[in-house]
A and B are shown apart, each in its own frame.
Chain A
Amino acid sequence: MSVYDGFRDDLLATVPSLRAFAVSLSKNADRADDLVQETLVKAWDKQKSFQPGTNLKAWLFTILRNEFYSQMRKRKREVEDSDGAITGRLSVHPAQQGAIDLKDFRKALELLPEDQREAIVLIGASGFSYEEAAEICGCAIGTIKSRVSRARSRLQDILGITGENDFGPDAISAQITSGAFSG
Chain B
Amino acid sequence: MSYEKPTSRRVAGRRGSGTDPLGANSEIGRKLRQYYDDLVKEEIPDRFSDLLSQLEMQEQAESAEKED
Contact = CB atoms under 8 A, between A and B. Distances in A.
Give the residue among B31, B35, B37, B63 with the most A Cβ atoms within 10 A. Answer: B31
B44 A16 contact: yes
B31 A102 contact: yes
Interface residues of B, number: 35
A40 B26 contact: no
Give the secondary structure class of B's interface. Answer: helix
Contact of A17 (B22, B34, B40): B40
Interface residues of A, number: 44
Contact of B63 (A1, A11, A126): A1
Interface of A: 1-2, 8, 11-12, 15-17, 19-20, 23-24, 33, 36-37, 40-41, 44, 95, 98, 100, 102, 105-106, 109, 120-121, 123-126, 148-149, 152, 155-156, 159, 161, 164-165, 167, 171, 178, 182
Interface of B: 1, 18-23, 25-29, 31-42, 44-45, 47-49, 51-52, 55-56, 59, 63
